[in-house]
Structure 1
Amino acid sequence: MALGRAGPALALPLLLPRRPAGSGTAAAGSPQGPGAVVRVPWALRQRLQRGAQRRRRGQEEAAAPRPGKLLLRSRRPELSQPRWQTVGRWEQPPLVSAGWKHRKAYGDYFQLEPSQEAAPALQALPAEAGQGPTFAELGLQPALLAGLERLSIGRPTAVQRLAIPALRRGRSALCAAETGSGKTLAYLLPLLERLLGRPEAPAEAGGLRRQLRAPPAGPAVLLGTPGALREGLRRRFLALERLRWMVLDEVDSLMDESFTELLEEILAHAPLAAGAPRAAGPDEERTQVVVVGATFPAGLSETLSKFTDVSRFVNLSTQSLHRLPPHVLQKFVRLKGRDKLPELLQLLKERPSSGGAVLIFCNSASTVNWLGYILDDHKIKHLRLQGQMSAAARAGIFASFQKGDVSVLVCTDLASRGLDTSSVQLVVNYDFPDTLQDYLHRAGRVGRVGSKAPGAVVSFVTHRWDVDLVRKIETAARKRTGLPGMDSINKPSPKGG
Structure 2
Amino acid sequence: MHSVKVGSFAILISKQLAVTRSSSRAQYYVPLICEQIASICVNLRRTTTTSSQPVVIRIPRRMQEQIENIKQMQSKKFDRLPTAKPGRLLIKSKNPQQNQSVAYTLGKFEQPVLTSKGWKRNEALGDYFTINSTQSAPPFMGKQEGVGDDRASPLKTFDCFNISPELVESLQSQKIIHPTTVQMQTIPKILKGRNVLCAAETGSGKTLAYLLPIIHKLQAEKQEEQITDSVRKIHAVVVIPSRELAEQVASVARSIGQRFGLVVKVAGGGRGVGNIKAAFSHGQPDVLVATPGALLKALWKRFVSLSELNFLVIDEADTMFDVSFAGMLENILSHAQVASRLSETVGLTRKAQLIVVGATFPRGVGEVLSKVTDLGSMVTVKSQMLHYIMPHVKQTFLRVKGADKILELHQALKKAEQEHKGVLVFCNSASTVNWLGYLLDEMGVGHMRLQGEMPGAMREGIFRNFQRGNVDVLICTDIASRGLDTQRVGLVVNYDFPESHTDYIHRAGRVGRAGGAGGGEVLSFVTHPWDVELVQRIETAARRRMPLPGMESEIQKPSHKTDLKINEQKVH
Q: TM-score, normalised by structure 2?
A: 0.73
Specify the alignment match of 2:125 in structure 1. 106
The answer as to 2:209 corresponding to 1:209 is no
- Gaps in structure 2 of 5+ consecutive residues: 7-34, 41-80, 231-262, 264-273, 565-572
The Cα of 1:210 is off from its aligned counterpart by: 6.5
The answer as to 2:234 corresponding to 1:241 is no
The Cα of 1:405 is off from its aligned counterpart by: 0.9
What's the CA shift string for 1:177-222, capped at 9, x where partnerless?
1111100000010011011112354558996436658845xx6211
Q: Which amino acid aligns with 1:140?
A: I
Specify the alignment match of 1:198 in structure 2. 221
What's the CA shift string for 1:136-178, capped at 9, x where partnerless?
1111111111101111111100000000100001111000111
What's the CA shift string for 1:366-395, capped at 9, x where partnerless?
000000000000000000000001111011
Equivalent position SS for 1:164 = helix
Specify the alignment match of 1:185 in structure 2. 208
The Cα of 1:245 is off from its aligned counterpart by: 0.6
Q: Which amino acid aligns with 1:437?
A: T
Residue from 249, 261, 265 that aligns with 2:331:
265
Structure 1 residues 73 and 378, CA gap change in structure 2 (3 angstroms): same
Q: Which amino acid aligns with 1:43?
A: Q
| Native 8 Å contact 2:498 2:504 kept in 1 | yes
Residue from 292, 295, 300 that aligns with 1:226:
292
164-173 vs 343-352, which moves further:
343-352
Specify the alignment match of 2:102 in structure 1. 83
Specify the alignment match of 2:36 in structure 1. 43
Specify the alignment match of 2:527 in structure 1. 462
Equivalent position SS for 1:490 = coil
Match runs of 1:229-378 below 5 Å:
229-278=295-344, 281-282=347-348, 284-378=349-443
| Native 8 Å contact 2:487 2:516 kept in 1 | yes
Specify the alignment match of 2:478 in structure 1. 413
Specify the alignment match of 2:545 in structure 1. 480
The Cα of 1:131 is off from its aligned counterpart by: 4.9
Query: 1 CA distance for matches of 2:380 and 2:275?
Result: 38
Q: Which amino acid aligns with 1:389?
A: M
| Native 8 Å contact 1:275 1:310 kept in 2 | no
Q: Which amino acid aligns with 1:261?
A: G
Structure 1 residues 207 and 83, CA gap change in structure 2 (3 angstroms): closer
The Cα of 1:275 is off from its aligned counterpart by: 4.2
- CA RMSD between the two structures: 2.9
The Cα of 1:320 is off from its aligned counterpart by: 1.1
Structure 1 residues 131 and 363, CA gap change in structure 2 (3 angstroms): farther
Structure 1 residues 301 and 134, CA gap change in structure 2 (3 angstroms): same
Query: 2 CA distance for matches of 1:207 and 1:101?
Result: 51
Query: 1 CA distance for matches of 2:387 and 2:485?
Result: 20
Specify the alignment match of 1:453 in structure 2. 518
The Cα of 1:409 is off from its aligned counterpart by: 0.4
Residue from 87, 91, 96 that aligns with 1:72:
91
Equivalent position SS for 1:459 = strand
Equivalent position SS for 2:288 = coil
Query: 2 CA distance for matches of 1:103 and 1:280?
Result: 64
Query: 1 CA distance for matches of 2:468 and 2:84?
Result: 43
What's the CA shift string for 1:94-114, capped at 9, x where partnerless?
111111111111111000111
Q: Which amino acid aligns with 2:338?
A: L
Q: Which amino acid aligns with 1:431?
A: D
Equivalent position SS for 1:332 = strand
Specify the alignment match of 1:55 in structure 2. none
Query: 2 CA distance for matches of 1:406 and 1:380?
Result: 10
What's the CA shift string for 1:284-312, capped at 9, x where partnerless?
21010100011112121111111111111
Residue from 93, 102, 107 that aligns with 2:112:
93
The answer as to 2:208 corresponding to 1:142 is no
Specify the alignment match of 2:139 in structure 1. 120
- Gaps in structure 1 of 5+ consecutive residues: 7-41, 48-60
| Native 8 Å contact 2:416 2:491 kept in 1 | no
Q: Which amino acid aligns with 1:182?
A: G
What's the CA shift string for 1:398-440, capped at 9, x where partnerless?
1111111110000000111121100000000000000001101
120-129 vs 219-228, which moves further:
120-129
Equivalent position SS for 2:194 = coil
The aligned length equals 447
Q: Which amino acid aligns with 1:235?
A: K
Structure 1 residues 377 and 201, CA gap change in structure 2 (3 angstroms): farther
| Native 8 Å contact 2:345 2:352 kept in 1 | no
Q: TM-score, normalised by structure 1?
A: 0.84
What's the CA shift string for 1:124-143, capped at 9, x where partnerless?
39799735532111111111
Q: Which amino acid aligns with 1:136?
A: D
Residue from 162, 166, 169 that aligns with 2:185:
162
Equivalent position SS for 1:223 = strand
Query: 1 CA distance for matches of 2:463 and 2:347?
Result: 46
Equivalent position SS for 2:289 = coil
Which has the larger share of helix?
Answer: 2
Q: Which amino acid aligns with 1:163?
A: T
Structure 1 residues 271 and 360, CA gap change in structure 2 (3 angstroms): same
Specify the alignment match of 1:173 in structure 2. 196
Query: 1 CA distance for matches of 2:470 and 2:281?
Result: 41
Structure 1 residues 189 and 281, CA gap change in structure 2 (3 angstroms): closer
The Cα of 1:278 is off from its aligned counterpart by: 3.3
